[in-house]
Amino acid sequence: MNQQVLAPEIRRKPILKQEIAFAIVHLIPLAAVWTGATLFDWIVCAFLYVFRMFWITGGYHRYFAHKSYKTSRWFQFVIAFMAQTSAQKGVLWWAAHHRHHHRHSDTPQDPHSMKIYGFWYSHVGWIVGPDFKETDYKVIGDYAKYPELVWLNKHYLVPPVMLAVAVTAIGAYVNGGSVFLMFTSAGLSTLLIGFFLSTVILYHGTFSINSIMHKFGNQRYETGDESRNSVWLALLTMGEGWHNNHHYYETASRQGFFWWEIDITWYMLKAMSWVGLIHDLKGVPKHVKFSKNKGHAVELRKEYEAVKKSA
Ligand SMILES: [Zn+2]
Ligand SMILES: [Zn+2]
């Protein structure tokens, strides 16, 4: 590898005019000082954080980026739609960039390496900057062959707008007694806290995996990158905190490899497989789980096979 390959790429700064909507989304929840907020609004906020985090990790990440389980074509669309209610751009955009991250993890071509580009760039700079706006359909050709997914990817704001309208109507009914109060503080407070605040917290929950999960925590496996495991981030992100495990064996649908590594997304995926919505969940082979690095895994596999033969 020569010096030129290792040199960081030139990453352009965000064009403020184009990113104004993203900045405004962060400020919108503050308008609740005028509407107030009810207990119901806070419950919706918590629910929508957990609900949508599940579809981000179980959908965008473990299904579309890594194909760690199988499902039907109609449920695949449901997964994509639900994941997109998070307002984190289109499903093919998300998964294609993530595949790119694994291919080039912590090298100059990594879209969001904290080691190379620093905390702010890896956290949010690459999202608001102009360099990663397009979807690379070649990288995600296995899903780009479905026209309904391409449509959803292009019209990525349809799911979050539908969710926002539904949340406002439900808030108007619960807080004010009628859905016709959507444009009064009864509905708007649910929109501000239930929808917008949870969307912003969700952004930073997801972004933290891209930034600090390659910095803080322990490294069980020698992956050749900076990926780490952290129980705290695993709890906040429903299993994504076992990021070193995940970089070591990315095709598994579970990221907590041991029983004590809490991975709520994995439990929910398991439950979905029991009712037949998804199937063929990929696990972690024993020789991978108990190895230190890829070479050691090969040795362990041979050892286990020899023991099996002699038994
Ligand atoms: Zn991944
Ligand atoms: Zn990573």
User: What confidence tier does 3 reach under pLDDT thresholds 50, 70, 90?
Assistant: very low
User: What confidence tier does 5 reach under pLDDT thresholds 50, 70, 90?
Assistant: low
Ligand lying nearest the CA atom of residue 94: 1
What is the rounded average pLDDT of the residues 18-30? 94
Residue 279 has a CB neighbour count (10 Å cut-off) of: 11
pLDDT beyond 70 at 1: no
What are the tens digits of pLDDT across the range 40-65? 999 999 999 999 999 999 999 999 99
What is the rounded average pLDDT of the residues 9-36? 92
Segments in the chain forming alpha helices (H): 3-6, 16-27, 32-35, 39-55, 73-84, 91-103, 114-117, 119-120, 126-128, 141-144, 147-154, 158-171, 185-189, 198-210, 231-236, 243-248, 264-274, 286-289, 294-310
Q: Which of 214, 221, 216 is nearest to 257 (CA)?
A: 221
What are the tens digits of pLDDT across the range 259-271? 999 999 999 999 9
Ligand lying nearest the CA atom of residue 56: 1
Q: For residue 102, report the distance from its CA to the centre of ligand 1, in Å.
A: 6
Q: What is the pLDDT of residue 18?
A: 85
Q: For residue 255, report the distance from its CA to the centre of ligand 1, in Å.
A: 10
Ligand lying nearest the CA atom of residue 246: 1
Q: For residue 90, report the distance from its CA to the centre of ligand 1, in Å.
A: 16
Q: For residue 177, report the distance from its CA to the centre of ligand 2, in Å.
A: 46
What is the rounded average pLDDT of the residues 276-289? 98
Ligand lying nearest the CA atom of residue 101: 2
What are the tens digits of pLDDT across the range 96-138? 999 999 999 999 999 999 999 999 999 999 999 999 999 999 9
Ligand lying nearest the CA atom of residue 227: 2
Q: Which residue has the tokens 């700079």?
A: 125
Ligand lying nearest the CA atom of residue 97: 1
What proportion of the chain, given as a percentage, has pLDDT over 70?
98
Q: For residue 243, report the distance from its CA to the centre of ligand 1, in Å.
A: 8
Cβ distance 214 to 226 under 8 Å? yes
Q: For residue 81, report the distance from its CA to the centre of ligand 2, in Å.
A: 24
Cβ distance 136 to 65 under 8 Å? no
Ligand lying nearest the CA atom of residue 112: 2
pTM: predicted TM-score of the whole model, two decimal places: 0.94
Cβ distance 235 to 49 under 8 Å? no
φ and ψ at 214, to 5 degrees? -110, 25
Q: What is the mean pLDDT of the chain?
A: 95
φ and ψ at 169, to 5 degrees? -65, -45
pLDDT beyond 80 at 311: no
